Amino acid sequence: MAMTHYLRTVHDAILVGVGTVINDNPRLNARLLPNPPAPAQQPRPIILDTHLRTPAGCRLLTNYQQGLGRQPVILHSEGCEGQDQKHPRVDLEAAGAQLIALRTLDWDNILEALGKGGLKVQRLMVEGGARVIETLLTSSSRSDGDGRAGGLIDSLVITVSPNFAGSDATGYKSPRWQDVVVKTGKESVAPRDGQEEVEEGAQFHVAKKAWFGDDAVWMWKRGEKPADK
């Protein structure tokens, strides 16, 4: 977990889905480091939340109110704001959230919104949960890159831990392997129901592997493995 906290410090923003906020109530800061950065230098929390289900009392917002974290941004869908004074929007804005409405919460729209305006996010860490990771792994960009699934991702960090985080703990459920189209090489994956074929995913190579305590950690980078010097 300390490695995750270090990784958080080298990004401008940390993105999670509303499922993670509801299930885990995370803080997304770097408090486990011996010298954590000041709150203003910590990454900005970003929440994907179509219907504004984020609890107004979640830690990300209370930390911001107490000067312990950056202002969270909630990306939601247009038309779910409502004018009603009892609408969740009212409580979320009162709690300090910055709300940004998008036509749809697809990854092209998400990354475009985060890269512009006052946010100017250049380095985004997508921490979870299961559904968010799955849509990111299976998305391709409309405008940039090679248009392959996984092509929006620069690096993947995968930790295998001897500790289970199952339904009795956090409720994590990983995507089925055959639904993940990021691949190590050229072999193809089984098409999903209703699809004739799956586009070949972006290519990744293992750039680093290390042990952190009992956790085995792999870092994968997009592209071909550089030739040995």
Ligand X SMILES: NC(=O)C1=CN([C@@H]2O[C@H](COP(=O)(O)OP(=O)(O)OC[C@H]3O[C@@H](n4cnc5c(N)ncnc54)[C@H](OP(=O)(O)O)[C@@H]3O)[C@@H](O)[C@H]2O)C=CC1
Ligand Y SMILES: Nc1nc(O)c(N)c(N[C@@H]2O[C@H](COP(=O)(O)O)[C@@H](O)[C@H]2O)n1
Q: Map residues 18-47 to x or -, x wherever contact with ligand Y holds by CB under 6 A.
A: --x---x-xxx-------------------
Question: Closer to ligand X at the Cβ: 124 or 132?
Answer: 132
How far is 62 from 173, CA to CA, in rounded Å? 28
Q: Which residues inside 65-104 make contact with ligand Y, applying CB under 6 A?
A: none
Question: Closer to ligand X at the Cβ: 101 or 196?
Answer: 101
Q: Which residue has the tokens 């690096």?
A: 155
Q: According to the binding rule CB under 6 A, does residue 105 interact with ligand X?
A: yes
Residues 136/16, Cβ–Cβ less than 8 Å:
no
Q: According to the binding rule CB under 6 A, does residue 150 interact with ligand X?
A: no
With CB under 6 A as the contact rule, the residue among 111, 126, 132, 156 that binds ligand X is: 132
Residues 9/37, Cβ–Cβ less than 8 Å:
yes
Q: Map residues 22-61 to x or -, x wherever contact with ligand X holds by CB under 6 A.
A: -xx-----------------------xxxx-x--------
Q: How many CB atoms lie within 10 A of CB 184?
A: 11
How far is 68 from 59, CA to CA, in rounded Å? 10
Q: How many CB atoms lie within 10 A of CB 19?
A: 18
Q: According to the binding rule CB under 6 A, does residue 182 interact with ligand X?
A: no
Q: Tell me the closest approach of the beta carbon of residue 157 to ligand Y, in angstroms.
A: 8
Residue 51 has φ and ψ, to the nearest 5°, of -105, 20
- Using alpha carbons only, give the angle 80, 84, 90 rounded to the nearest 5 degrees: 75
Residue 210 carries which side chain, given as an amino acid letter? Answer: A
Q: According to the binding rule CB under 6 A, does residue 126 interact with ligand Y?
A: no
Binding footprint of ligand Y on the chain (CB under 6 A): 1, 4, 20, 24, 26-28, 127-128, 159, 170
Binding footprint of ligand X on the chain (CB under 6 A): 16-20, 23-24, 48-51, 53, 105, 127-132, 135, 165, 170-172
